[in-house]
Chains A and B, each alone.
Chain A
Amino acid sequence: MILSAADVGLCFSTGGSITWAVRHASLSVGKGQLVMILGPSGSGKSSLLYLLSGLRSASEGEVRYGEQLLSGGNKHTARRLRFTDFGFVYQQHFLIGYLTATENVCVGRSRQYLGHARNLLCELGLESRVNAYPAELSYGQRQRVALARALVHSPRIVFADEPTASVDSKLSVSICKILRDYCDQGGACVMVTHDEALRSHADGLYLMRDGILSMHSASASE
């Protein structure tokens, strides 16, 4: 098991009252698995993803990456793992405007990744756009650059937060397929989405509603 969460919860204190964004959530992600979390907007999917990736500390329960405690553990460890072992795809592409597509792919990383970044962009069909700036790319192209940024350092697990939220169905399928292929090659992925049409790509399916996570099926085919 690469990643596991047991009874994790995340609460916010607002005006003296406590609001739980996630409560008693448990899940596990194994090597080669694409785990999908389905749910409507505001159900706590993104919050759960932040807990799983160490971007937020859990208010209760624990998240483990392999044997390492991620939630409530050492912040430095969580940060190091985010840099080396985790990849992120956000709802918006968050590309940096003054960097080329290739530079955006390896932003924050060693310059040795530049060659690999170009190859990755070519594999994603952007061979003619490697030196283009974000403003010169279509929305779909930008999202593929953001996807390449999440994959460039060959992370063990990719966290994707609604990566298909603002794209057409054709591109949604394309993005899902890329993540599916990545898992098939030995990676793993936790993907949050509200698009039920994508569930066929998942190995494990969870439903999220009002902060409560429930397992829908171990395999999407079920």
Chain B
Amino acid sequence: MLSAVRSVLAVPWPWAFLFRNKAKGIPLLLLVALSVLVITTVSAITDSIMMSVYRSSVQPYEHASAIVSSGISIPLHIVRNLENSDEVEGMVPFLDSSVRVTGMMGSESRRVLAVPTAELENVMTRFHVRLDGGRLPIRGEPEIAIHESIARSKGVHVGDVIGREVDSDDYLWGAFVVTGTLRGDIPMCVSSLEYFKKQWIFDAGDSSYAYLVFPVPGRLASLNRTLGDKLGGEATAITLDSVMPAYRSEFANTRMVLWAVDLLVIVIVSIAMGLVNTVHYLTRLREFGLLASIGLTPAGLVIRTITEVLGLGLAGFGAGVALARIALWLLSVWLFEPRGIDMNYLKWKSIVFAIPVPLLVSVFSTITVWVNILRLDPVSIMEGRD
């Protein structure tokens, strides 16, 4: 076995054939590189779509849970009871609405959170969002501060107006003046709860229709476990645990498509590489016969083949990743970023999907050549009876 492994170091280097026969080596390299490019790009785009929805719909619940009244408002005794709980650090009343932005796969919703103006900075800090330009909305005014990605997507600036009056796709009723832009992980808008309440047709009294419940650091999970029980049927709890299944279910099919594309590309490329390598093997029959006749073992020949194909696969993988990075960067800069869509083109997770390409291509190619090597008869080859 050791001699078989040592044969890799023998003259010539196993990848000398492909390196010196560029007309044969480059197409194979491109085949692997293009398959890696396809898989990485599809994976990165899919991941970006999922991440975009996650950041907008799920991530807020990593920082706070919400309770929403089953009627017009949440009874004050429930609010007081929760505020006094060991797991709750603070509660902020809110109402919400949404605006539509262009996503990678059509229109996506972005939440508008209306909280008391005195609590705006507190809420933004808790959601890891900060004011990037302009100012925050004034109490009781139809004003809004929007995330910079939403501003880019809608093509609006500070001083412009958004809302259903100017864009019928928006759920946000009326017209709101953009006073500032926000930056941070969660693409959201903030507005004045006082203004929202003026438009609210119901009178919630001293209480509110909905509250954000901020947990004591590290107690979110235990808060979510008991939150429902503390509401006594008067309100519904919206927590990370309740939104996650919907998110997962929404993207279950997307993940399946991604895996199907991955599998399909890998199988097609593996078969193609296997066939091409068999053709290459047949054109190099005398080389293999010669090596066998001077005493190289079949195991040594197979290991040399594995090294050759794996070297090609890894080089193709590297080239494919580089091409994918360039392609995704160009897509991001020219197509997505101007539309407010953040693409995660630098994430290693996307590349992981393409790792099976060089591995399976090597395995499949080696198996096809292996079968031939096992039947190798150096004498027949040397006598030209191949």
Contact = CB atoms under 8 A, between A and B. Distances in A.
A113 B382 contact: no
A55 interface: yes
A83 B296 contact: yes
Interface residues of B, number: 26
Given A46-B383, A114-B11, A107 B295 contact: no
A156 to B, nearest CB: 14
A132 B2 CA distance: 32
A110 B7 CA distance: 8
A204 to B, nearest CB: 24
Contacts of B290: 94, 96, 107-108
B352 interface: no
A25 B296 CA distance: 28
Contact of B11 (A50, A81, A107): A107
A170 interface: no
B382 A108 contact: no
B286 interface: yes
Interface in A70-102: 76, 79-84, 86, 88, 90, 92, 94, 96, 98-99
Contacts of A108: 7, 10-11, 290-291, 294-296
Interface stretch (B13-21, B40-48, B237-245, B359-367): B13-21
Contact of A90 (B10, B287, B382): B382
Interface in B270-312: 286-287, 289-291, 293-297
B166 interface: no
Size band of the A side of the interface?
20 to 34
B217 interface: no
Main secondary structure of the interface of B (DSSP, over half): helix
A177 interface: no
Interface in B104-134: none
A82 B294 CA distance: 5
A81 B287 contact: no
Which among A46, A80, A83, A106 has the highest number of chain B CB atoms within 10 Å?
Answer: A83
Given A50-B379, A108-B10, A111-B11, A79 B295 contact: yes
B137 interface: no
Interface string B348-386: 000000000000000000000000000000110011100
Given A50-B379, A94-B286, A84 B295 contact: yes
A113 B11 contact: yes
24 contacts: A76-B297, A79-B297, A81-B295, A82-B293, A82-B294, A88-B294, A94-B289, A96-B290, A98-B12, A98-B17, A98-B20, A99-B11, A99-B12, A99-B16, A103-B12, A103-B16, A107-B12, A107-B290, A108-B11, A108-B290, A108-B291, A108-B294, A108-B296, A113-B11
Given A56-B379, A81-B295, 17 more contacts: A55-B378, A80-B295, A82-B293, A82-B295, A83-B296, A94-B290, A96-B12, A96-B287, A98-B12, A98-B16, A98-B20, A98-B21, A103-B11, A106-B11, A107-B12, A108-B296, A110-B9
